[in-house]
């Protein structure tokens, strides 16, 4: 069994195909929902309505400690402010370790709210979503060697 503590989140300023991943270390909870749009088919010949699957929907949400000098913080902030595309990889282990797997895609940083709690670390609850301008679809990747 793998716990979230053993999993890794990476970003690549040049996009997912470039292979220069930078691990995001000051990250809290990471969520990678994966769902499908769906419609209901209701016809008289069936006693139950049926579901038709549509396009998949995914995003990565996570909390990041506000550290102005952290290169990953700077990359994410700048990607958000400049509406740039960057690569994201949410993996079950190190990205260069055989057997690690997870979602990878080119994304936009769509949400970058700065939280300023009175007595706790200042955290940013970031959302990254697949970029419409990306050349490739998001993919579930397993590292083989």
Domains identified in the chain and CATH numbers? 8-143 (2.30.110)
**Higher pLDDT among residues 68 and 18, named by residue:** 68
Residue 18 clears pLDDT 80, i.e. is over it: no
Between the ranges 1-10, 113-122, 134-143, where is the mean pLDDT highest? Answer: 134-143
Residue 15 clears pLDDT 70, i.e. is over it: yes
Confidence band of 118 (pLDDT split at 50, 70, 90): confident
Which residue(s) pair with 61 in the sheet?
31, 127
The beta strand positions in the chain, using DSSP E, are 8-12, 22-23, 27-31, 34-41, 50-58, 60-65, 86-91, 101-111, 123-130, 139-142
Q: Is the pTM of this model over 0.85?
A: yes
């Amino acid at each position: 069994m793998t716990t979230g503590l053993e999993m890794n989140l990476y970003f690549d300023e040049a996009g997912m195909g470039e292979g220069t991943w930078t691990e995001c270390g000051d990250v809290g909870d990471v969520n990678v929902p994966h769902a499908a749009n769906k419609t209901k088919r209701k016809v008289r010949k069936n006693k139950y309505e049926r579901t038709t699957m549509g396009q998949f929907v995914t995003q990565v949400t996570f909390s990041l400690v506000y550290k102005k000098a952290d290169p990953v913080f700077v990359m994410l902030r700048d990607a958000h402010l400049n509406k740039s595309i960057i690569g994201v990889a949410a993996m079950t282990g190190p990205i260069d370790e055989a057997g690690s797997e997870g979602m990878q895609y080119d994304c936009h940083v769509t949400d970058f709210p700065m939280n300023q709690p009175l007595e706790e670390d200042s955290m940013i609850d970031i959302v990254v979503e697949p970029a419409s301008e990306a050349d490739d679809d998001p993919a579930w990747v397993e590292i083989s060697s």
